[in-house]
Amino acid sequence: MSQPKEVPQMEKIVSLAKRRGFVFQSSEIYGGINGFWDYGPLGAELKRNLRDTWWRAMTRDREDVVGLDATIIMHPAIWKASGHVDTFSDPMADCLVTQKRFRADHVEPQSGVVYKWTGATDETGKTSNDTFSALLAAGKPAESARKVGIQFYTQRGLTNPQLLGETTEKVENSRGFNPENGAQLTDPVPFNLMFKTYVGATATEEDKAYLRPETAQAIFAQFKNVVNSTPQRVPFGICQIGKAFRNEVTPRNFTFRSREFEQMELEFFIKPDEAIEAVCGSVAPWSESADLSKPQDNWGWEMWHRYWVKERTDYYAGIGLGADVLDYHWQTKEELAHYARACVDILFKFPFGTEELEGIAARGDFDLTAHQNASRKPQDVFDEEVKNAFAKWTDEQRAALVERKKAEHRAKEKGGMTDAQVDEWCEKLFKGFYVPHVIEPSAGLDRLALAVLSNAYTEVEKTDPKGKSETLYVMRFHPRIAPVKVGVFPLLKNKPELVAKAREVYELLRKNLAAFYDEGGSIGKRYARQDEAGTPFCLTIDFDTLGEKGDDLKDTVTLRHRDDGSQERVKISELLGRLLPLVG
């Protein structure tokens, strides 16, 4: 007897997400649109809760971060200055037989024998001199590679083509062939990921604009306006949550790589290390035992970077993503962008592999300087403390700093300042002016929603007294992010006094937390429905609530906890006091 096919974990999550109204395919009734997803009633609440926890952690709970809400379409010069117009691309390759498009660096590397042809001819005398090759899958006969070759030349207008000039060659780990049929792929070409549109009715090239591929650039572009309109002074941050768009070559893994998604980004502006050195005498050195609990005046970029890695890790722990499901990838020197000093990816163990959830980059002064150069509007700040500190330095100390800085920049392979630029930079710094450096924690809201959905998904086998077993699904969301916090049930729906009391409890709660009233089916079925929705608490109003067993239990309800199924009696008057701290 054949074994039932094991359904991959991700498929089960996608199926539950649709069944329970977390995530739907966009435009599904028209066959869907690849890379776009909609959030259903529970998903919309889940996402809102995630957004709120992030916003609270990043701004409301801090004195040194403020928010921004910028437009999706901005002046196209922003994307030129930021480098996105010229370099925000992925390598793309097409299958020469099926025309299927691949992200060239994501093609599974393959080894085997490649069959190459110099061209083909057919019975009508028609000839093609186009070369073509196909990789022979292990264990398959040579004819299967030739079949692919014949398909290629047939598409070039030949009837029953005869392959010409066949040679073979062994290849190892090649990304040059379609893994599905072995056909040769085109050479990779860069494909810019920005969505283009036109602003205004004429729709000419001059009106071309882009949907933002990240929220960060608006923060840089509005940096000076925020400084001028708030009391914030460096070090401080500006954060933003909003839609971003990338025309990904191959959207995949459910919502993980989408074409429309939401980002939650912070740009935290800090003084250059040289300014800290002047003010504090030295820059605090990073070590494994460094105390990162509270920012200190003598922190340079490295301590700030480590601090934000810790802050973000603590944030994830606070919504139920602990050390067991996270990992870190510290980018190597070769992986780092030339302007970045460090970048760490916080990874989550998704069912399809351990992948990036958030990147935290130390980007130096690259972005603000790029906008300063392109817009010709100064992006530097004046810092009295820095000016006063340098005023106390000797000429020798200043000269030594200039020389050190020059040596540092001469050693850079790319993007270093010339000696003259270093002179100018130091001159300004000594007067208290500098372009702030930045630490950028950048997270994806949709990826986070997928992470918490994957993390919450649990299957529980239940056997009834008759021995019949069934699989129940429990979404173990942390109460802070659960879409519904509490389910309220009357024990029986045909007892008006129970229903009235249950509605009274529901009305009391729903003003303060997301509550759901349900009177349909058995209590067991109602618990199961809320377990699938991830509701952490359920309340049942029964005859004891009405005082049938005396005053002791009157106006108490059964509080049932989702994760261990435990139940307790709680006074209605104490419910809010019990529940609010658990879900807030």
Binding stretches for ligand GAP (CB under 6 A):
214, 216, 246, 248, 257-258, 261, 263, 265, 356-359, 442-444, 446-447
Q: How far is the CB of 360 from ligand GAP (least distance, A)?
A: 9
Q: How far is the CB of 278 from ligand GAP (least distance, A)?
A: 30
User: Measured between alpha carbons, how far is 30 from 28 in angstroms, rounded to an integer?
Assistant: 5
Q: How far is the CB of 221 from ligand GAP (least distance, A)?
A: 13
Helix-, strand-, coil-residue percentages of the chain, each rounded to 5: 35, 30, 40
Q: How far is the CB of 363 from ligand GAP (least distance, A)?
A: 9
Contact 544, 28 (CB under 8 A): no
User: Measured between alpha carbons, how far is 290 from 113 in angstroms, rounded to an integer?
Assistant: 54
Secondary structure letter of residue 281 according to DSSP: S
Count CA within 13 A, CB hemisphere, residue 398.
Answer: 17
Beta-carbon contacts of residue 333 (< 8 Å; ≥ 6 apart): none
Question: What is the secondary structure of 146-184 as a DSSP string?
Answer: HHHHHHHHHHTT-SSPEEES-EEEEEEEE-SB-TTT-BB
Q: Which residues are registered as beta bridge partners of 261?
A: 244
Q: How far is the CB of 343 from ligand GAP (least distance, A)?
A: 9
Beta-carbon contacts of residue 329 (< 8 Å; ≥ 6 apart): 344, 345, 347, 356
Reduced to 3 states (helix: H, G, I; strand: E, B; else coil), residue 6 is coil
Q: How far is the CB of 23 from ligand GAP (least distance, A)?
A: 13
Q: How far is the CB of 573 from ligand GAP (least distance, A)?
A: 43
Q: Mapped to the 3 state alphabet, what secondary structure does 104-123 carry? A: HHHCCCEEEEEEEECEEECC
Q: How far is the CB of 317 from ligand GAP (least distance, A)?
A: 18
Contact 120, 158 (CB under 8 A): yes
Reading across the β-sheet that carries 537-541, which strands appear in turn?
515-517, 486-490, 537-541, 556-561, 567-571
Contact 2, 443 (CB under 8 A): no
Give 367 or 518: the residue with its C-beta nearer to ligand GAP. Answer: 367
Closest CA to 437 of 335, 507, 369, 506: 369
Q: How far is the CB of 265 from ligand GAP (least distance, A)?
A: 6
Give 46 or 538: the residue with its C-beta nearer to ligand GAP. Answer: 46
Give 446 or 518: the residue with its C-beta nearer to ligand GAP. Answer: 446
User: Measured between alpha carbons, how far is 210 from 193 in angstroms, rounded to an integer?
Assistant: 10
Which amino acid is it at 85? V
Using CA atoms of 486, 487, 490, 496 in order, give the dihedral in degrees to the nearest 10.
90
Hey, what long-range contacts does 576-579 have (CB within 8 A, 24 or more apart)? 576/508, 576/509, 576/512, 579/485, 579/486, 579/509, 579/513, 579/537
Q: How far is the CB of 213 from ligand GAP (least distance, A)?
A: 7
Give 112 or 359: the residue with its C-beta nearer to ligand GAP. Answer: 359
Give 258 or 556: the residue with its C-beta nearer to ligand GAP. Answer: 258
Q: How far is the CB of 371 from ligand GAP (least distance, A)?
A: 14
Give 186 or 247: the residue with its C-beta nearer to ligand GAP. Answer: 247
Q: How far is the CB of 403 from ligand GAP (least distance, A)?
A: 34
Give 248 or 532: the residue with its C-beta nearer to ligand GAP. Answer: 248
Give 118 or 250: the residue with its C-beta nearer to ligand GAP. Answer: 250
User: Measured between alpha carbons, how far is 297 from 383 in angstroms, rounded to an integer?
Assistant: 14
Q: Give residue 266's Cα distance to chain centre.
A: 13
